[in-house]
Structure 1
């Protein structure tokens, strides 16, 4: 619960400390379901970079609105028996319409990126395709090894030792974590530049 309510603060705080936060979900509706409508809107509006594949419905509409609009020129021709007339008009249309986002094929993406001072990006909104070398991927997949599946925890006498083995692994990992913390505290305590952190931690 604490994490859910503080996710928007995490993004902003991490950004100010030059830490990148990556959020991934299949649809905005999942974000709303798990974080409530109010929190989801804050999170969506806080992130600076967006990369999306094919989505539909409200998610496509929200993304289209996020990408903004562009001035489009339209030309219409009227034909009758005596004359042919042409009219040209301009109007604001979505830069990437929801229908376009809803019909993206595999490998096609839309999105927007944020820039920094001294690193200005002229083309912030994109609609592109990731070119995949299928032959190289197929060659690489040939060298893949199957992950071994351990289904038998019986010992030499045929007795099932699954509970004992799981508990043993749990205890080992727990002890290793304790040792890592102890070693790190010892390192900090022996470093004059970091020793004051321990005092601050005790006061807190």
Structure 2
């Protein structure tokens, strides 16, 4: 849907039909349906049992179902994803389509974040009244640096004008 929004239907279709590797988290609507169709279908065996007073009968049927249904794609939780990978002649991949989950070691993450050191405040832009003066300070620094650079250029141009050899490097003065 983002490709269609940004590039239009035809251009988005070209990109989607050219890409060999797909990784997707939760998506809904047309995108989920398109991914489900792209992942294909698989033959599913279904067994049903009928009980009656006289006998018990079992029937087995087969049906083609989506390998990863759009409903599954639209309800993926955090850390879960689906996808397909392209292979090559040199490195064939037997299992190209997958539905997987990133397993996060919560205890390890918690231990690591506990060791984080707070970033020190190098410059505090609050004034004595507690007002944030960062933008004003940045503007003052910008104006000061710009004025200092102009002063350096003026001094250097003046030095070049006073030197008979170097003054020839300067363009002729306008209106002189």
1:142-173 CA-to-partner distances (Å, cap 9, x unmatched) read 31544969784x9xxxxx4534655869xxxx
C-alpha separation in 2, matches of 1:45 and 1:150: 52
Unaligned runs of 5+ in 1: 1-28, 155-159, 170-204
Report the 3-state secondary structure (helix = DSSP H, G, I; strand = E; otherwise coil) of the residue aligned with 1:92.
strand
TM-score normalized by the length of structure 1: 0.58
1:87-116 CA-to-partner distances (Å, cap 9, x unmatched) read 111121100111111222221111111112
Q: In the alignment, which residue of structure 2 is the partner of 1:80?
A: 52
Q: CA RMSD in A?
A: 2.9
1:137 paired to 2:109 = yes
Q: 1:141 to 1:38 in 2, by over 3 A?
A: same
1:91 paired to 2:63 = yes
Unaligned runs of 5+ in 2: 128-135, 147-176
Number of aligned residue pairs: give it. 137
C-alpha separation in 2, matches of 1:147 and 1:34: 41
Structure in which a larger fraction of residues adopt helix: 1
2:138 corresponds, among 138, 162, 166, to 162
C-alpha separation in 2, matches of 1:83 and 1:145: 74
C-alpha separation in 1, matches of 2:6 and 2:46: 43
Q: 1:107 to 1:163 in 2, by over 3 A?
A: same
Report the 3-state secondary structure (helix = DSSP H, G, I; strand = E; otherwise coil) of the residue aligned with 1:66.
helix
Q: In the alignment, which residue of structure 2 is the partner of 1:108?
A: 80
Higher relative contact order (CA 8 A, sep 6+): 2
TM-score normalized by the length of structure 2: 0.66
Q: In the alignment, which residue of structure 2 is the partner of 1:7?
A: none
Q: In the alignment, which residue of structure 2 is the partner of 1:41?
A: 13
**Bigger radius of gyration:** 2
1:118 corresponds, among 68, 77, 90, to 90
Q: 1:37 to 1:137 in 2, by over 3 A?
A: same
Matches within 5 A, 1:7-86: 29-86=1-58
